[in-house]
Amino acid sequence: MILEINNLKKTYADRTVVDIEYLFVNDGETIGVVGNNGAGKTTLFRMLLDLIRPDTGEILSKQQNVAANDQWKNYTASYLDEGFLIDYLTPEEYFIFIGSLHQMTKTDVKVYLHQYEEFFNGEILDNGKYIRDFSKGNQNKVGISAALMQQPELLILDEPFANLDPTTQIRLKTYLKSLTGSHKLTTLISSHDLNHVTDVCSRIILFEKGKIIKDLLTDKNTLNELETYFSG
């Protein structure tokens, strides 16, 4: 078990945005977190990364409280939004900087980026542009590929398919599936796209007003079950 959440609650201005009695995540699972806007998905992810603190409860990563130690940072990677980027750098400069944090040389970084040629689709490297000048979709490409440079055991992605063109969405899904199979990566993905998330994830957690409404193992009926819930 890589994550365990107990009695977690976060409230803003008398409105409870996350209220989880208990949740666990096993090693190697790919979990989709779905829900309407305001369901609490991003707040949960930010608490998992100790970017904000819960009012009550605890998040344990490998049995250690994320708010009380930094060990989880050694095996956890994430991309939530463009705020995770250094947007006054070019992608090359950013990748080299992130690589240096993981003892990668410039040559190591170049070799690493070779695997993303199709994903980048000729739009990221060697363009002489700063990250701030890229579209949101291309910023997503930079952020996701940079997050994976440390070869994490736990990956947290908030709306990774948003703003990507259909071809890139398919390439990202294929890559995430291959990572799970080859590296036993544990992944948490939030998404509004039920088709993508049920295709990629082995387990779906449905959030509504900060609470877990459903916790489903993905099968051939999961997409229909989720569509029925949201249409109702």
**Looking at residue 224, what is its pLDDT?**
93
| DSSP assignments along 219-232, one per residue | -TTHHHHHHHHHH-
Residue 26 pLDDT class (50, 70, 90 cuts)? very high
DSSP 8-state code for residue 159 = S
What's the whole-number mean pLDDT along residues 58-82?
A: 94
Give the fold, CATH level 3, of 1-75+154-163+187-232: Rossmann fold (3.40.50)
Q: What is the pLDDT of residues 84-123, one digit of tens each?
A: 999 999 999 999 999 999 999 999 999 999 999 988 989 9
What's the whole-number mean pLDDT along residues 222-231?
A: 93
- Spatial strand order of the sheet with 56-61 comes to 15-25, 3-12, 56-61, 64-65
Contact yes or no for 197/189 (Cβ under 8 A): yes
- Which residues neighbour 171 within 8 Å (Cβ) at sequence distance 6 or greater? 118, 119
**Looking at residue 178, what is its pLDDT?**
81
* Mean residue pLDDT across the chain: 92
DSSP 8-state code for residue 86 = -
**Looking at residue 181, what is its pLDDT?**
64
What's the whole-number mean pLDDT along residues 73-78?
A: 94
Q: List C-alpha distances in Å: 182 to 109, 178, 185.
A: 20, 6, 8
Q: What is the pLDDT of residues 173-207, one digit of tens each?
A: 888 888 776 567 899 999 999 999 999 999 999 99
Residue 216 pLDDT class (50, 70, 90 cuts)? very high
**Looking at residue 14, what is its pLDDT?**
85
Pairing between strand 203-208 and 211-217? antiparallel
**Looking at residue 215, what is its pLDDT?**
95
Tell whether the model's pLDDT for residue 138 goes beyond 70: yes
